[in-house]
A and B are shown apart, each in its own frame.
Chain A
Amino acid sequence: MDLSPVLTGFSVVFEPQNLLFCLLGVTIGMLIGVLPGLGPAATIAILLPITYNLEPVAAVIMLAGIFYGAQYGGTITSVLLKLPGEASTVVTAIDGHQLAKRGEAGSALGVAAIASFIGGTASIILLSLVAPALAGVALAFGPAEYTVLALIGIFLVGTLGSGSLIKSAAAAGAGLLLATVGLDPLLGTPRFTFGTDQLADGIDFVIVAMGLFGVGEILYNLEHRDRPQAAVPAFGRAIPSRVQWLRSRLAILRGSVVGFVLGILPGGGATMSSLVAYAVEKRSAKDPSRFGKGAIEGVAGPEAANNAAATSSFIPLLTLGIPANATMAVLFGALMLQGITPGPALMTEHPDVFWGVVNSMYLGNLLLLALSIPLIGVFVRMLKIRPGILAPITIVITMLGVYSIRNNAFDMVLAVALGLVGYAMRKLGFEPGPFVLAFVLGSLLEGSFRRSMRIFGGDVTEFVQRPLSATLVGVLVLTVVIIPVLRVVRARQVVRAAEPAEP
C-alpha cells in the first residue's frame, strides 16, 4: 500500500487551521451531545453556513468532529440523567444509570470515555487499512440480510430487560406498533396517522427516546418528590478502579470489533452494534444477573461499539457516496456544497480530503478523551443539584432539543405524551429499553421483509438460499434456539448432579 497519501493526510491535519477546526468540532459535538435532543444532524445543518467560507478539508474535519464528539457527550446525559439522545446510547443508559445511582457515575463515565477512545481509534486504524476493500460489504447486504439482521436484533432486545421476560416482550410489541405509525413504506397508505400529516413520516426516534426515558423518568420522580431524598452518594473518580478496568478490558475489545463491522452497514448497523455488544457481554458473563443493575461491562462494550460504528459509518460515505444515517446525509450535503462529490472517485480525486478527514479522527478522539476526563468531574456535580431544581432545567432543555429535530412544536406534544407513557410503564413494571430499541428495529424489519418478498417474488425460501442471509439465519437460530436450549439442558444436568449430594 502506498503510504504517501496517508502521510500527506497527517500533514493536512497538523496545519494550524485544521487543528483548530478539529478542536472546535469535537468541542461543539461534545456540547450538543450533552444537550438532550439536540442531535448532530440538526447541529451540522445549522452550522453549514459557517463552513461556506472554509477550506473543504477544514469544514469536513469540523463537521465530522461534531458527529463523533456528540457520541462522547451523549454518554454523559445517558448515564447521569438516563437521557439517551441517540439510539446507540440507549443501551448505555441501562447499566450506566444504575452505576450512577450507586455513586459510581465518575468511574462509569471514565470507563465509557476510555472505551469510546479505544473503540474509535481501533476503528480508524481498521478503516485506514481496509476501507476500500470493505466498501463491498455494504453492498452485500440487501433487503434479505437486513430482514434477518433486524430479526436478530429484536430477539436480542429481549436480553436487555432485567425483569419479567413477558413484560419485556409486551414493551417491545408496543415499540413495534408505534413504529408502524406513518405512511406505509411500500404503498403510502396512511396507518394510525389519524388524518394528520404531522405523523405521515412516522415519529422520530429521538422523540421516543426522550419521551420514554427522559420525560418519563422526570415525571416518575415528580410523583415521589415528597419522599425523603437519598443521601447523595460519593461520585467516585473519573479514573476507573483496577477491578473495573479488568472487567472492561475484553468488553472494550469485543465491542470495538462488533461496532466496526456493523457500522459499515448503512441500514441501521450502528444501532445494532451497541445492542449486539451488550448481548455479547451479558451472554459471556459469568453472572449475567448483574446486568441491568450496574454492570460496568454493560457500559464498556456498547460504548466501544457505538464509537467504532460511528467511525466505520464513514466508510460507505467516503468510498461509495452512500450516507449511512441522517448525520452522514448532512455531511454528504456539506461536501456537495463545497463542490466535492463523495463517492467512488473521492479517494483518488481528493486524497487530501479523504485522508485529512480520516486522520483528523485520531486527533479528534485524543482531544475528546482529554476533554472528557476533566469534564466528567464537572458534570457529575450535576447530580448534587437538588432534584427540584435539576428536573425543570432538564425538562426545558429537553423540550428545546425536541423542537430542534424538525423545528416542530407538535413533536414536543408527542414527547410529553410519550413521557406519560413512560411514566405509566414504569408504574406498571415495564422497561422502556425494549420499547425504544424495538421501535428502531421495527421499521427496518417490516420494510426489509416486504422489499425482500417483492424481490423474491413471494418465495420465502430464498432467505436460506442466499449465502449471506442463510448464514445470518444460522446465527439467528443459534442465538435464539440452540444456545438457550443448551443452557436449560445444562442447568438441569447441574441440578441433577447436585441432587445426590444433598443430604
Chain B
Amino acid sequence: MAEHETDDARPEPEAPAPGGRVLAAVAGAVPVVLGAAAAWLSLRLDIGTLTDPGPGLWPLIVSALLVLTGAGILASVRRVEGTEAFTRGAIGVAAAAVGLFVYASLFEVIGFEIPSVLLLTAWLRFLGRESWLSTALLSVGVTAAAYALFILTLRVPLPHLIAL
C-alpha cells in the first residue's frame, strides 16, 4: 500500500522546471564530446588487435559506446525528458565547489581544524543563513566533535594542528 502514496503523500514544494530542448541537446552532446575526446586520446595509445589488445583498445570501445549513446540521445531530443533547468542557485553550487577545493588544498598544509571551521562557517552562514551565533557554535562544535571522533577515538592519521 505504501507505494501508492508515492506522488501524493506530500505535496512537492515546487517541481523543478524542466530543462527544455537546449539542455536535452546538451545531455546528448556531452557524451559525444567526451567520447570523441577519449577516442582521440585512445588512438594515441597502442590499439593492438582484438586477440592481442593494446592499452588503447578498450578505452576506444568505451569511447565509441559513449559517442553512440550520446548520438542516440541527440536523435531523440524531443522525447527524452528528465533534464532540469539551471537556476540562479547554481551560483551557490559553484561557490560551494570552489570552497571545497580550497578546503582540500589547505588540508595537508595547515591541518584539518582551521579549514573545517572556515568551511562550516561559510556554508552555515552564507549558504544556510544561520545566525552568527549558531554558526559559530556549530562550526567549532562540529570540528571539535570530528577531532574527538576521528583523531582521539578512531586514531585516523588526519593532519592536525592541535596535539593532545
Contact = CB atoms under 8 A, between A and B. Distances in A.
B132 interface: no
Chain B at the A interface: SS class? helix
Given A166-B76, A173-B65, A227-B13, A294 B3 contact: yes
Interface string B68-95: 0110110010001111101101101100
A233 interface: yes
B123 A395 contact: yes
A219 B73 CA distance: 25
A412 B103 contact: yes
A170 B73 contact: yes
A366 interface: no
Contacts of B72: 166
Interface string A211-240: 000010001101111111111010000000
Given A223-B90, A230-B12, A167 B73 contact: yes
A395 B139 CA distance: 12
Contacts of A407: 157
Interface of B: 1-3, 5-6, 9-14, 16, 19, 23-24, 26-27, 30-31, 34-35, 38, 41-42, 45-46, 49-56, 58-59, 62-63, 65-66, 69-70, 72-73, 76, 80-84, 86-87, 89-90, 92-93, 96-97, 100-101, 103-105, 107-108, 112, 116, 119-120, 123-124, 127-130, 138, 142-143, 146, 149-150, 154-158
Contacts of A229: 13
Contacts of B1: 243
Interface in A86-122: 102-104
B79 to A, nearest CB: 9
Contacts of B157: 46, 404, 407
Given A187-B54, A420-B97, A164 B66 contact: no
B70 A460 contact: no
A373 interface: no
Contact of B120 (A164, A243, A392, A410): A392
Contacts of A458: 49, 51-52
A192 B89 CA distance: 33
A251 to B, nearest CB: 15
A416 B23 contact: no
Contacts of B73: 164, 166-167, 170
A399 interface: yes
A192 B120 CA distance: 34
A192 B41 contact: yes
A184 interface: yes
A388 B53 contact: no
A90 B70 CA distance: 25
Nearest to B58: A446
Contact of A169 (B38, B65, B112): B65
A378 interface: no
Contact of A409 (B12, B50, B66, B105): B105
B66 A170 contact: yes
Contacts of A400: 112, 146, 150, 156, 158
Interface stretch (A5-13, A53-61, A356-364, A423-431): A423-431
